[in-house]
Amino acid sequence: MKLTIIAATGGVGRHLVEQAVAEGHEVTAVARRPRDLPAGVRTMAVDFERPDPVALRAAVRGADAVVSGLGPRDPRADAGITSRGTQAIVDAMAAEGVRRIVVVSAAPVGPVPVPGQRVLPKHDPGDGFFMRHVGTRIARTLFGTHYADLAVTEQILRDSGLEWTVSRPPKLTDKALTGEYRTALNRNVRGGFSISRADVAHHMLRLVDQPETVRQVVGVAH
């Protein structure tokens, strides 16, 4: 399969590239400074602060799917980069006729309303007592702007007409790949407090070839 991997040198992105190459996929890796990537990977330099539409079109051209680990380096400083970058990716895919995209988001996004859109439920249906009354409140206090931007990102996908799937993990860790995790359709995983970046990448690569998850949000956690 031909995969274009966005933010290929980021926390999730580098695992996406390594695992996709190991599985025999043909990979185009897109990053601001694509370096230290496996041999045989086609690389494209794109700065998602100011995404170049010509470069993005070239990056997604001919892809079977786009897999995006795009997110801010500092969630409290780089506001808006995920939604702006995702809009640019969606535009490039539409121009090149590429339909399938899998994007990483975050578990606390569920309750965040998008300006001008319907108000989402107060609590994600998968959240237990702790997450509803403590965990989500702490997350919003620390990274509220980032989660609001992810909510906008998800709305961009819903409006795109593409065959999108969103992976929503909770707290990310740097633990090793296990390939073992729980998932939940259109809700967070009950009692799921963390997951490794390597396992998020594994989950996202599985989603690419799961048509039942098209235009769905999938919670994932250990």
Distances (CA, A) of 28 to 18, 44, 70, 130: 12, 7, 15, 41
By the 10 Å C-beta count (0-12 exposed, 13-18 middle, 19+ buried), 7 is classed as buried
Give Cβ neighbours of residue 92 (< 8 Å, ≥ 6 apart): 53, 56, 57, 59, 60, 98
Give the residue numbers spanning the domain of 193: 2-221
Question: Can you give the pLDDT of all 222 residues of the chain as single tens digits?
Answer: 999 999 999 999 999 999 999 999 999 999 999 988 998 899 999 999 899 999 999 999 999 999 999 998 776 666 799 999 999 999 999 999 999 999 999 988 864 444 555 555 566 656 654 455 444 554 555 456 888 899 899 999 999 999 999 999 999 999 999 999 999 988 889 888 899 999 999 999 999 999 999 999 999 999
Give the CATH number, domain containing residue 54. 3.40.50.720
Q: How many domains does the chain have?
A: 1
Q: What is the pTM of this model?
A: 0.87
